[in-house]
């Protein structure tokens, strides 16, 4: 058995360590700069012959413009008198700002300064190839308000837009005045609430297959039919986006997996909601977002806010309240903004 003296170990270390460090120095891989975010095109890229231009044209609302941010261009519209109280309308998962077609003009005609816009991946806004989590949506709105030099506004969200409104109020409370409205609001949905079909279609593997050229051409052939556009333009615009916009289905799928349709309990109970008033409107027959979530959201609000807030349950109404009950919604918003008693 041969024993090594401390001197021999030290000598051996001095012989081995310097070459090892020198080799590591030369072989060390410094990370490359991150690749730019890839942007899928919007409805603006479709030819003039596309049915989308007759259903939901770029100038669907007056006062339209584009703002360019790090994650792509955003299409927005501003309506109503410049001196009016500022109101932001946030649409939901699949239908862009056309969902406010009855509400926005009514609010503008009543003296409100109304901002509505297409979320990333929908309508005329670009679709960045990335995760569609709450931060993407809240930063989009914060940048848009900065672009317009809006320091504060009432925030109104429908469906997934309600989840965005909650996250935005929690993250950027200084940009929200004392009023938040949540219509058929998501934000607390459980995994069991999402249909098996939606879960299947939102899986990354299925999304890869769905984005293939043969599948996309098949979907585009289906949209060549004129049936449905006149009777249900909202359904038709969903079909057109799905068939012609490569980033649309991915945006929806990521929003289902990662987005603000669920997981917003902390946002609803956050200090961002303190000192505000919240109006919730929900249909009793909503099969998309279960009506049970409306009172649950109300119960999560800070106690001082909960005491000044109200839930309007619309008997027999489904999920599309901004279309099916547009007058009730517009009147309820107006009464709420003016501090009057809202009708039930």
Neighbours of 39 (CB within 10 A): 16
C-alpha to C-alpha distances, 23 to 17, 20, 32, 216, nearest whole angstrom: 10, 5, 20, 51
Helix residue ranges per DSSP H, 226-325: 233-244, 246-258, 265-268, 293-300, 303-307, 321-324
**This prediction's pTM:** 0.86
From the number of C-beta atoms within 10 Å of its C-beta (0-12, 13-18, 19+), residue 152 rates as middle
- Residue 229: pLDDT band by 50, 70, 90 thresholds? very low
Give me the residue spans of the domains in the chain.
40-337
Distance CA 254, CA 251 (A): 5
Q: What is the tens place of the pLDDT at every residue in 173-224?
A: 999 999 999 999 999 998 877 766 566 556 665 555 555 555 445 444 444 5
228: confidence class by pLDDT, cuts 50, 70, 90: very low
The model's pLDDT over 12-70, given as tens digits with 9 standing for 90+, comes to 566 677 777 777 776 666 677 878 889 999 999 999 999 999 999 999 999 999 999 99
* Joined tokens for residue 262: 């669920």
Residue 325: partners with Cβ closer than 8 Å, 6 or more residues away: 283, 314, 317
The highest-level CATH class for domain 40-337 is: alpha beta
**Residue 80 pLDDT more than 90?**
yes
């Amino acid at each position: 058995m041969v024993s090594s003296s401390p001197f021999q170990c030290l000598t051996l270390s001095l012989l081995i360590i310097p070459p090892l460090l020198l080799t590591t120095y030369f072989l060390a891989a410094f990370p490359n700069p991150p690749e730019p975010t890839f942007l899928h095109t919007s409805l603006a890229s479709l030819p003039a012959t596309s049915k989308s231009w007759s259903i939901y044209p770029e100038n669907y609302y007056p006062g339209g413009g584009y703002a360019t941010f790090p994650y792509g261009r955003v299409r927005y519209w501003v309506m109503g008198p410049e001196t009016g109280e500022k109101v932001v309308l946030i649409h939901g998962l699949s239908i862009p700002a056309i969902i406010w077609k009855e509400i926005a003009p009514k609010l503008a005609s009543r003296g409100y300064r109304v901002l509505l816009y297409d979320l990333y991946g929908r309508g005329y806004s670009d679709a960045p190839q990335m995760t569609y989590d709450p931060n993407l949506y809240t930063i989009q709105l914060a940048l848009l308000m900065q672009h317009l030099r809006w320091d504060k506004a009432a925030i109104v969200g429908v469906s997934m837009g309600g989840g965005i409104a909650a996250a935005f109020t929690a993250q950027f409370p200084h940009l929200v005045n004392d009023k938040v409205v949540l219509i058929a609001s998501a934000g607390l949905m459980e995994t069991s609430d999402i249909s098996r079909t939606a879960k299947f279609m939102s899986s990354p593997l299925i999304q890869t297959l769905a984005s293939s050229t043969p599948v996309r051409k098949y979907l585009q052939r289906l949209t060549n039919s004129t049936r449905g556009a006149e009777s249900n333009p909202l359904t038709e615009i969903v079909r057109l986006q799905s068939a012609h916009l490569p980033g649309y289905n991915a945006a929806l799928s990521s929003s289902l997996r990662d987005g603000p349709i669920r997981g917003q309990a902390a946002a609803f109970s956050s200090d961002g909601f303190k000192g505000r008033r919240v109006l919730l409107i929900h249909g009793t027959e909503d099969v998309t977002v279960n009506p049970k979530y409306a009172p649950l959201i109300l119960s999560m609000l800070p106690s001082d806010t909960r005491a000044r807030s109200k839930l309007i349950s619309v008997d027999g109404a489904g999920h599309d309240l901004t279309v099916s009950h547009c007058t009730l919604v517009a009147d309820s918003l107006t009464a709420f903004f003016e501090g009057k008693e809202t009708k039930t």
